[in-house]
Chains A and B, each alone.
Chain A
Amino acid sequence: MNEIAIHMKLFGTFRKFGDVLDFTVPAGSTASFVKKMMSNILSGGESSLVFDSVLADDNAVLPDTHVFKTDARLSILPPVCGG
């Protein structure tokens, strides 16, 4: 199966891992699967934080069911607290 490249920008508490993460997933992966891959990469017991976070592009927050067929530039958004 073809692999696609994920370029993930990190925000908030994820900044402790850097500003971006680059990794690959199989084409056709869901956002939920991409988050699981991130949990595996962030070997710091962050699985519950990743679960509570969402993926987004520069236009919208994406549901966990969203399917990625091609390379994607994304962000992972932990729980928000602006104001």
Chain B
Amino acid sequence: MTETIYVSVSANPLDLQAAYDFVTDPEHGAVDVFVGAVRDHHEGQSVSGITYDVHEELAEKIFLKICREAQKKWDGIHIYMSHYKGQLDIGGISVIIAVSSAHRAESFEACRYIIEELKKRAPVWKQEHYEHGPSEWLPGHSLREAVGG
């Protein structure tokens, strides 16, 4: 049986071609790819890079859960989901989500769903490094809601 979901946390540079190659399928006429990259500013400060901290074992389980939810919503899609762990400079790729489907609507919608759920649910944290001033861990979404807290 062909695998239709790939998830990973990686300390190696993320690979766009690998994402495309995994999801492509002769029956699919659409591939949507989301790439998250480190930008050089945040709330008026010049950013020099970001360190990503990740609970790897749990993150991969939650990635898989999110992908299975997406496949229930959009039947037949193929999904590649990989998040970087470690330090990145400006322009570095932090996350790749690729989704393929028979037609474009499903791949656009599923890709959006997956990145939004990742941001709310995945155990990943960003420490921003600034040109001027000390590094800071960014605030985020509490996981208390996920367990009814």
Contacts and interface: CB of A to CB of B under 8 A. Distances in A.
Interface of B is mostly: mixed
A3 interface: no
Interface string A65-83: 0000000000101111111
Given A59-B61, A63-B149, A81 B55 contact: no
A43 interface: no
Interface of B: 36, 52-55, 57-59, 61, 83, 94-95, 115, 118-127, 137-144, 146-149
Interface of A: 9, 11-13, 15, 52-54, 56, 58-64, 75, 77-83
B14 to A, nearest CB: 13
Contacts of A63: 147-149
A25 to B, nearest CB: 19
